[in-house]
Amino acid sequence: MTQRQDLPQFEDHSKQEHRYTTCYMCACRCGIKVTVEDEKIRFVQGNPDHPVNKGVLCAKGNSAIMKQLSPAKLTQPMLRKPGTERGAGEFEPISWDAALDMLTARLANIRATDPKKLAYFTGRDQMQALTGLWASQFGTINWAAHGGFCSVNMAAAGLYTMGHSFWEFGDPDWENTKYFMMWGVAEDHASNPIKLGLKRIKERGAKFVAVNPVRTGYQAIADEWISITPGTDGMFALSMVQVLLREGLIDDEFLIRYTNAPQLVINNPGKQGDGLLLRDAEGNPQIWDQHTSGVQSALSPDVAPALLGEYEAPCGTPVRTAFSILMEKYMAPEYAPEAAAQVCGISADDIQRIALEMAHVAFKETITIDTQWTDWAGREQSQFIGRPVSMHAMRGISAHSNGFQTCRAIHLLQVILGTIDCPGGHLAKPPFPKHIVPPIKPAKGNAPNTPLESAPLGFPTQPEDLVIDENGQPRRIDKAYSWDAPIANHGLMHMVISNAVAGDPYPIDTLMLFMANMAWNSSMNTAQTMDMLRAKDHNGDYKIPFIVTCDAFHSETVNFSDLVLPDTTFLERYDTISMLDRPISEIDAACDSIRQPILAIDRDVRSWQEVMVDLAGRLKFPAFTNDEGQPKYQDYKDFIVNFERAPGIGFLAGWRGKNGEKSLRGEPNPNQWQAYKDNQCFFKFDLEPNQKYMRHANKDYMELAKEAGWVGSTDQIVIELYSETLQKFRLAGQGLYDGPQPTQKHHQERLKTYFDPLPFYYAPLEQQRTDAKEYPFYAVNQRPMFMYHSWDSQNSWLRQIMSQNYLYMHRSKGEALGIKDFGWAWIESHNGRIRAQVKLMEGVNPETVWTWNAIGKQQGAWGLSDDANESQQGFLMNHLINELLPGENEAGGQRMTNSDPITGQAAWYDLRVKITPVSDNDDELAGQNLSWPRFDKVKPLPNFTPATKMSSYSSHPNINLSRGWRDIFSRGEK
């Protein structure tokens, strides 16, 4: 549109500046362009050139101004006031110098004596490459980020099956897919990319099937909504696998060329080695070659492997193909659609139809892209064959104690249809795919003043890799990589406080938390967790002696801290979203990005990244100090640019080399940071057409990946439908493993039952131990698209969209129980009860109730007034969930962790509840619109300024459009 003469000059742009950075209103990491004037934000918009969001922005990003203006921002370092109790919320300001001196002295002492006494756990951060390196240099094995209570099941299942995964390590091919199935996606994860993708597939007329007990958000626009019973997705997927096997609708060429389906498995039940792969002297897995009618290396290009069959190895060992075991397993009656229907609440007809629809699209609507490419064996290929069925799955799968095997079941479904990394299918995002699994083992021990020999987190492939002592007891405070949770790749953050307070496996000295709200919505069992944080031993000392919290905002956890280090907001800091961590890559490009300060810091806060680098210098970590023992890096930006993990490989992949001429690998470039700023704060390295698909077996791609340090070799990545890793652990449970084996019966039983080398369905652990008649409803949490966990109740715009959560249930069930819309009810689980207001709805599985996560807040926290809806009517479902499983004391008098028995993933969604309407007679809150439990009010922090009663934000005096009197009078005549 051109400016009309009757319109005034709009706002004065001469005083405005555009600055680019990366959003952090959630974990999506969109590129943003921020218009600033007078050091105030005029406008935050999506960067149209950015690979992640392509110009769009969500409700959160559009409300960044109000996050920046939050009254909950911490303003200065604080110390718990001497003589006051932890949790009483009495703090006094302390200078940064004093705070860091105090912390350095304490940490130096721990490091010099017993480094594991520091437990360092971080929340939804995007800098695990730094915090993990820091922990490793400190020498503590007790480090992890929040993945263990978020979605480790998705990452682990993907990496142990196909070398990439859903969300951060892979995406549907939105441009080409013709059938898209979304499993258990609770509206965030990812935010804008999923929305952009859904638009594309709907534009193109692809079918969108949503599997979710709740029909909100994305589900609302699905062509078909599958209202599944929570926690039964594995059964649904495997029943569809049966349909496909029964009808012979599988991609046998894909299975033979790219997976271990034809590999020979030793068939010696009850004997050592049973279920392991047959291997030759060099350790190569074997197949039955139909050309030579004999056993050959599975890695040879010149063989025609049999997919099915039982054979005898040259040594006389009976063997059968992995696919034969798979056939036997999934053709069993328990996976028949009629049987699955009873479990999943989906009709047998629908299960069968959806399986056949996908097969039709995969095999009858195949697409091809004509491109010359070279396969893993060096053979020229002329096209990519695409089976355009794709999927995405997230927390609805991962937050169950059967989530790892369920996610593997979904991957199995994808793989037998041949839909992996092909046009229209599910595509990896660089630096993925990786070999199965990345060759990093978790560090096992630590020594004073010594960095760990390996990273704290890694990928076990056998019982020898566990982090246990000579008695088989856990070495880590969260018991990750113990027999409790052998493949706990992201740790078990939800167990740290509980274990540390119990001194099991040992007491710690200092708990350091970064942006994790462990005293509230990030812990199960919130009220008891608060008690644990306050718990003292018989000497009157705190069982967790010292708690350090770094956060930008006044969360509930700040209240339980001894030392509070205030972080900046994301608009005030340097940062990187690194290829060494979880980069922002797209399916066809390797991408990373930076954050730069958009606004000057106006209070006494420092970014945690800067503090980490500072502390690393003070503590004289080898990687952070020079030969004279002096700090090597001036600040975090200096570290980002100059640190090299391996020669030429650093945090940022773009503009490397002395003159910035190299991509992916090259020596540090002193001007790299400026180059990123000049390129709108991101780097995008496009793959060539011959590198975009079938990358697990694509030499053109693998050579690039090796050069970039993404993989260690150019060998083919063979998809592991059959997991020998899991079988090794199962053998250990059976007492048939030549190596470490558990001695306790409950560990043996868990390994035997759950470490099945092929995915299977089992009822979630809590549900196995809960009386379904007494607790008839499944209870789950969803996330609204306009809130990121607990972060956005402090945002005055977003809390106008929602300041109270309700318990949502199906109208028919509410009516049957005598609960009216907006009525109050008690919701009770094995762990306790809560009082909440109920909303009745149609679009929910009738056996399921749910609420929005983390809307409920503690009174006084997050800068909210005492009467805020979040603390008066809002509630957490966390009170109903225990970090320990209910029921029998199976572990020698102890209850087991409420987690996936394979990965240790927190099983948030296994909950069952009963619901009773509030009765005026027996309710202590009768007639009051209040949720329960209620907590003491959090006291205001020193120098806290309560927010004004009215907020009228504008970055400049508004320019009114005046209507002329002539217009008023002339128009009035009409």
Residue with tokens 């200065």: 76
Q: What does the alpha-carbon distance between residue 742 and residue 892 come to, in Å, rounded to a whole number?
A: 14
Residue with tokens 């069959």: 309
Q: What does the alpha-carbon distance between residue 477 and residue 141 come to, in Å, rounded to a whole number?
A: 9
Binders of other proteins in range 468-527 (CB under 8 A):
none
CB of 240 to other proteins, least distance (A): 13
The answer to whether residue 815 forms part of the interface with other proteins (CB under 8 A) is no
CB of 276 to other proteins, least distance (A): 21
Interface pick for other proteins out of 162, 385, 410, 868 (rule CB under 8 A): 868
Q: Using the minimum distance from each CB to other proteins, give the nearer residue, 360 or 534.
A: 360
3-state secondary structure of 798: helix
Q: Are 51 and 65 in contact, with CB atoms under 8 Å apart? A: no
Residue with tokens 């069982």: 543
The answer to whether residue 307 forms part of the interface with other proteins (CB under 8 A) is yes
Interface pick for other proteins out of 105, 816, 926, 959 (rule CB under 8 A): 959
Q: Are 677 and 655 in contact, with CB atoms under 8 Å apart? A: no
Residue 524 has, within 13 A of its CA and on its CB side, a CA count of: 29
The answer to whether residue 293 forms part of the interface with other proteins (CB under 8 A) is no
Q: Are 697 and 373 in contact, with CB atoms under 8 Å apart? A: no
Interface pick for other proteins out of 800, 889, 894, 928 (rule CB under 8 A): 800
CB of 256 to other proteins, least distance (A): 5
Interface pick for other proteins out of 359, 501, 584, 704 (rule CB under 8 A): 359
Residue with tokens 């490793």: 136
Binders of other proteins in range 311-350 (CB under 8 A):
327
Q: Using the minimum distance from each CB to other proteins, give the nearer residue, 359 or 452.
A: 359
CB of 193 to other proteins, least distance (A): 9
Interface pick for other proteins out of 801, 817, 884, 930 (rule CB under 8 A): 801
The answer to whether residue 45 forms part of the interface with other proteins (CB under 8 A) is yes
The answer to whether residue 196 forms part of the interface with other proteins (CB under 8 A) is yes
Q: Using the minimum distance from each CB to other proteins, give the nearer residue, 20 or 574.
A: 20
Q: Using the minimum distance from each CB to other proteins, give the nearer residue, 53 or 691.
A: 53
Region binding other proteins by CB under 8 A among candidate stretches 269-277, 503-511, 661-669, 807-815: 807-815
Residue 781: name the closest of 227, 212, 393 by CA.
212
The answer to whether residue 950 forms part of the interface with other proteins (CB under 8 A) is yes
CB of 123 to other proteins, least distance (A): 23
Pairing relationship of beta strands 389-393 and 179-183 according to DSSP bridges: parallel
Interface pick for other proteins out of 292, 812, 889, 943 (rule CB under 8 A): 812
Q: Give the DSSP letter string of 744-781.
A: SHHHHHHHHHH--SS------HHHHTS-TTTS-EEEEE
467 token code pair: 């982090």
Q: What does the alpha-carbon distance between residue 386 and residue 105 come to, in Å, rounded to a whole number?
A: 59
Angle at 959 between CA 953 and CA 962, to 5 degrees: 135
Q: What does the alpha-carbon distance between residue 211 and residue 228 come to, in Å, rounded to a whole number?
A: 6
Q: Using the minimum distance from each CB to other proteins, give the nearer residue, 368 or 929.
A: 929
The mark string for 734-773 relative to other proteins (x by CB under 8 A, - otherwise) is: ----------------------------------------
728 token code pair: 């090794």
The mark string for 908-947 relative to other proteins (x by CB under 8 A, - otherwise) is: --------------------------------------xx
Q: Using the minimum distance from each CB to other proteins, give the nearer residue, 68 or 596.
A: 68
Binders of other proteins in range 166-185 (CB under 8 A):
179
Q: What does the alpha-carbon distance between residue 452 and residue 446 come to, in Å, rounded to a whole number?
A: 6
Q: Using the minimum distance from each CB to other proteins, give the nearer residue, 471 or 945.
A: 945
Q: What does the alpha-carbon distance between residue 838 and residue 835 come to, in Å, rounded to a whole number?
A: 10
Region binding other proteins by CB under 8 A among candidate stretches 83-91, 145-153, 669-677, 948-956: 948-956
754 token code pair: 């759950």
Q: Using the minimum distance from each CB to other proteins, give the nearer residue, 171 or 478.
A: 171
CB atoms within 10 A of CB 409: 28
Q: Using the minimum distance from each CB to other proteins, give the nearer residue, 244 or 640.
A: 244
Region binding other proteins by CB under 8 A among candidate stretches 7-15, 125-133, 148-156, 727-735: 7-15
3-state secondary structure of 581: coil
Q: What does the alpha-carbon distance between residue 437 and residue 460 come to, in Å, rounded to a whole number?
A: 8
The answer to whether residue 380 forms part of the interface with other proteins (CB under 8 A) is no
The answer to whether residue 29 forms part of the interface with other proteins (CB under 8 A) is no
The answer to whether residue 797 forms part of the interface with other proteins (CB under 8 A) is yes
Q: Using the minimum distance from each CB to other proteins, give the nearer residue, 750 or 799.
A: 799
The answer to whether residue 960 forms part of the interface with other proteins (CB under 8 A) is yes
CB of 954 to other proteins, least distance (A): 4
Q: Using the minimum distance from each CB to other proteins, give the nearer residue, 673 or 862.
A: 862
The answer to whether residue 418 forms part of the interface with other proteins (CB under 8 A) is no
Per-residue CA distances from 893 to 462, 770, 890, 901 (Å) = 28, 19, 6, 18
Largest Cα–Cα separation, the chain: 104
Interface pick for other proteins out of 382, 539, 945, 954 (rule CB under 8 A): 954
Fill in the amino acid letter for 782: Q
Binders of other proteins in range 219-278 (CB under 8 A):
219-224, 245-250, 252-253, 256-257
The answer to whether residue 543 forms part of the interface with other proteins (CB under 8 A) is no
112-149 b/e with 16+ CB inside 10 Å = b?
A: eebbbbbbbbbbbbbbbbbbbbbbbbbbbbbbbbbbbb
CB of 326 to other proteins, least distance (A): 11
The mark string for 55-94 relative to other proteins (x by CB under 8 A, - otherwise) is: xxxxxxxxx-x-----x-----------------------
Measured between its terminal Cα atoms, the distance across the chain in Å is: 28
210-235 b/e with 16+ CB inside 10 Å = b?
A: bbbbbbbbbbeebeebbbbbbbbbbb
Residue with tokens 């995008």: 684
Interface pick for other proteins out of 260, 869, 878, 882 (rule CB under 8 A): 869
Q: Using the minimum distance from each CB to other proteins, give the nearer residue, 405 or 845.
A: 845
Cβ-in-10-Å burial (0-12, 13-18, 19+) of 432 comes to: buried
CB of 117 to other proteins, least distance (A): 39
CB of 876 to other proteins, least distance (A): 19
Residue 370 per-residue DSSP state: E
Binders of other proteins in range 95-124 (CB under 8 A):
none
The mark string for 697-736 relative to other proteins (x by CB under 8 A, - otherwise) is: ----------------------------------------
The mark string for 822-861 relative to other proteins (x by CB under 8 A, - otherwise) is: -------------------xxx--x---------------
Q: Are 511 and 563 in contact, with CB atoms under 8 Å apart? A: no
- Chain centroid to Cα 135, Å, comes to 20
Binders of other proteins in range 773-792 (CB under 8 A):
785-786
Instruction: Please report the sign of the dihedral spanned by the C-alpha atoms of residue 925, residue 929, residue 934, residue 938.
Output: negative
The answer to whether residue 281 forms part of the interface with other proteins (CB under 8 A) is no
The answer to whether residue 794 forms part of the interface with other proteins (CB under 8 A) is yes
| Beta-sheet strand order (sheet of 546-551) | 91-93, 78-80, 563-566, 546-551, 510-514, 118-122, 143-144
The count of chain residues that interact with other proteins, using the rule CB under 8 A, is 125
Beta bridge partners of 34: 19, 44
Region binding other proteins by CB under 8 A among candidate stretches 358-366, 473-481, 569-577, 830-838: 358-366
